[in-house]
Amino acid sequence: MKYLKLSLLIVLVMVVCARFSYTTIVGSAHDLKAKSYTDEVCNVCHTPHNANTTVSDAPLWDHTLATTSYGLYSSSTLDASMGQPDGTSKLCLSCHDGSVAVDNFGSSLGGADANDIISGDALIGTTLADDHPVSFIYNAGLATSDGELTDPTTANSDYEGTGTIEGTMLFGTAGSKTMECATCHDVHDPTNIPFLRASNTASAMCLTCHIK
């Protein structure tokens, strides 16, 4: 019985470890320690000291921020008031718009090695006219005026578990929270490609906000 309990404990630990190792940044496309400019997983984006604190929801930020003025999405069906990307979206675009090198961080700031510009499908560019809008206030008023958006203060059980869209998916202050890149993407979790916060099978994630 003693050995059986020990064996079961070992199996349980292995299952838990496998679960957490799979749903982390380690080994994913955002794990950049294989690059010649770092041997760490976190320091391209984060630093324990001398962090950039100018952007909200950016814990101990280390990467150079983009200063780009973006071409924005527009549509006759768009009811949100659009402005330049900010908040967590600004963090994502600081690599993915191609204006700042991936290796432009910390001690590499402005150095000779700051030349690794992102490419391929990961390169969004500086014109966001063909991308989902971000950094706009998504509240009950917008949902009402649009008519095809879910009220973000209502229960949301299909996407992020229990809670509301406002409470689990948006950023900022209640009543004026914004949709950002991180509403749909989790930079630390590669489970749902491409770093989606949930499966989009049968457009499940889209249908959390859009009524179709």
The amino acid present at 46, given as its one-letter code, is H
Residue 189 to residue 167: CA distance in whole angstroms: 20
212 residues of the chain, pLDDT tens digit each: 544 443 343 333 333 333 333 468 888 999 988 787 788 899 889 999 989 888 878 889 999 999 999 999 999 999 999 999 998 999 999 999 999 999 888 854 444 455 789 999 999 999 999 999 999 999 999 999 999 999 999 876 555 556 889 988 999 988 799 999 999 999 999 999 899 988 899 998 899 899 98
Quick one: which H or E segment has residue 179? strand 178-179
Which residue is it, tokens 């280390």? 62
End-to-end CA distance of the chain: 56
Q: How many CB atoms lie within 10 A of CB 61?
A: 20
Q: What Rg, from alpha-carbon coordinates, does the chain have?
A: 20
Helix residue ranges per DSSP H, 116-194: 140-146, 165-168, 181-184
For the chain, the domains span 1-29
Residue 146 to residue 131: CA distance in whole angstroms: 19
